[in-house]
Chains A and B, each alone.
Chain A
């Protein structure tokens, strides 16, 4: 058995498929590519495939990771080629490398960076400065929904970088870099908090989040 770590993209075409749907897509693609996946032991064996932290439904990515344990001697290069031949459009594997079978993906992932695009409801002056002031705060408390109800979280402790890239007409584009782990806040939480801070200037009915990279340790 060996563990192959793949970096993959999820584009506009498939941005609404859920994490669970994605797992099914990968399983079926593996079957079409005729790649033998290893199964877990036990009463209810399941294929050994694992993903990094789930991407929000509606977001795109060009740098997410997944691990697939294979039961055959297939090279990373061949794995990539064979999978890309059968994956639905919008999902593509860009890089594959072998890692130790004890190397767990979730403990490796430290953070991620994003491009975030929002629509403005009204004109905002000094948006760039507002971002800077926002970042200069010591703590940024937000309420986050968890399975056990609402919880107060300090967004600031997760936030590494946040700046305005570009504003034209009704759109503003930001760069965001955040820590990523089980239960960490996501860029949408940041958008909401920042929008409140500047007095509700964004139309948060719609926004675009694109994950550029996941950072591995």
Chain B
């Protein structure tokens, strides 16, 4: 058997073989010999998750637009495939040309969630690339970006360099520097030195993290001359004209988000205090309606998809959302192409729009009150009142919805059992509401889901202690008992997973040792309930002398050095501190769409402009 037959023989035995075959519509085929740079874009989760990710889709096409670059894709093989690959000594390969990763110039990971870190390590190992950066002489540069890269400390021994912020511009600068370096035949070190001068690039080995006796960080500083003290994230200034793909890969298999993804704005002005995305993607930048319609047209033609998702952090906040949705519906209704809205602001206006959308394609109804009482909603700055929620659900029920999903968080700062009970009260008020509208509750289904609060870097709550696992379980049990009825269903998150997420998300370089140890013990796919193994992690922490509670369950001091202080995301620490104090006092900060509330991003860099909507 030749290599292809060998691989095919494995594919006959695995579930979902098209995870590994490539060849989808709009995937790019080039002759690798005709390019100067081969880039393997790596997503540390399975195909159907990774392919649903917009950032990957943007960078894939953006890189492949360059004649001198070939960007291919690679995902974490599912456990059945991994076992066969290891048995048959087949190294991890890309979908497009089935080339082993070790033959690439770059392997670029996107870090979307902390529980994928063991997969990063596992993928490198499967590709026969040493998992430690310092042992990688003569092999590809392993780089990483994405929201989790903003705290680069835990993976600092694994990743050669991190890229902070939006990738559309900086990736070209990195590639250009690489070509220049390669053609001149430079040493590995020289390339790292060169990129360390590019804004947004963090080369971990040029920095040192030092500790105090009490275990807290004393200092993080560069240990080489000419290395910036803090790394500034990249912001795309001309969002209207920044590259957005006009084609999109259309997978053969069903993926998580199997539709056109069209990014209509970036950033969010709402200022929810727990939300990392709301801070790190600032400032708000919209695309014009005309631009969006033009892109929609091209994407519909090139993909044949039956649904267009308007992607952003809070789509109903788009300044011309009504016009946009109506226009899209009138253009595509005939062809049976629907619109979908990924986020969940719900008020009377958005319910009306959802009604329009519903005409073409059924959509579910999701609301995210996040907290059960007004007091706690004020603490987290979720600008939504009980009246808003009840009004919106009533008009939704009148319009014919019977299924509704409610998202809450438990373990939020200052939360008491009264607030947890508020979740139950709100759920029953919605049930009563339905009864009032419909007369009975026969067809009603309400799903209440709680996630567990995780303190995230660069949020006003970055200093807050996470509830202990024991406490979380108590709160979940409280809800399990009370949210039991024919029409109510309660879903909750594995509390040990949230604990691990908090540990890594606020982790420093020492936590990295535990991650590697956990991988050695067989941890991977930690975000998947079936594979998450809490006991292995506990052992890994113990054996590396890392106390996870120190990171997850401790209230950090305001003037403490944070592992991510080495990164500048534009939003100032002062602003975060002010927001934290206001939270504790239960004071809200209004949406900065209308008036600037001084987060600092505006003054961060020349040319950064926050979107200003016409004043109401």
Contacts and interface: CB of A to CB of B under 8 A. Distances in A.
Given A17-B252, A21-B252, A206 B8 contact: yes
Nearest to B6: A206
Contacts of B301: 32
Interface centre among B5, B304, B306 (most CB of A within 10 A): B304
Contacts of B250: 28, 88
Nearest to B9: A206
B17 A57 contact: yes
Contacts of A14: 21, 23, 252
A182 interface: no
Contacts of A89: 23
B82 interface: no
B616 interface: no
Interface in B195-254: 250, 252-254
Contacts of A206: 1, 5, 8-9, 12
A29 interface: yes
Contacts of A29: 304
A57 B252 CA distance: 13
A13 B8 contact: no
Given A16-B17, A17-B18, A58-B12, A28 B253 contact: no
25 contacts: A13-B23, A14-B23, A14-B252, A16-B17, A16-B18, A18-B253, A21-B18, A21-B254, A25-B252, A27-B306, A28-B304, A28-B305, A28-B306, A31-B304, A31-B305, A32-B303, A57-B17, A58-B8, A58-B12, A88-B250, A90-B23, A205-B13, A206-B1, A206-B5, A206-B8
Contacts of A205: 9, 12-13
B25 interface: yes
B404 interface: no
B23 A32 contact: no
A28 B303 CA distance: 7
A51 to B, nearest CB: 16
Contact of A88 (B8, B12, B23, B306): B23
A19 B402 CA distance: 33
Interface in A55-95: 57-58, 86, 88-90
A147 B21 CA distance: 29
Interface string B98-117: 00000000000000000000
Interface of B: 1, 5, 8-9, 11-13, 17-18, 21, 23-25, 250, 252-254, 300-306, 335, 337
Interface of A: 13-14, 16-18, 21, 24-25, 27-32, 57-58, 86, 88-90, 119, 205-206
Nearest to A37: B336
Closest 7 CB pairs of A and B: A28-B304, A206-B9, A32-B304, A16-B17, A31-B304, A88-B25, A17-B252
Contact of A16 (B11, B300, B306): B11
A13, A16, A17 — most chain B CB neighbours (10 Å)? A16
Contacts of A16: 11, 17-18, 21
A14 B11 CA distance: 12
Contacts of B12: 58, 205-206
Nearest to B12: A58
Contacts of B254: 21
A14 B250 CA distance: 13
B226 to A, nearest CB: 49
A32 B303 CA distance: 7
A25 B17 CA distance: 16
Contacts of A21: 18, 252-254
A139 to B, nearest CB: 29
A24 to B, nearest CB: 8
A50 B457 CA distance: 53
A38 B254 CA distance: 24
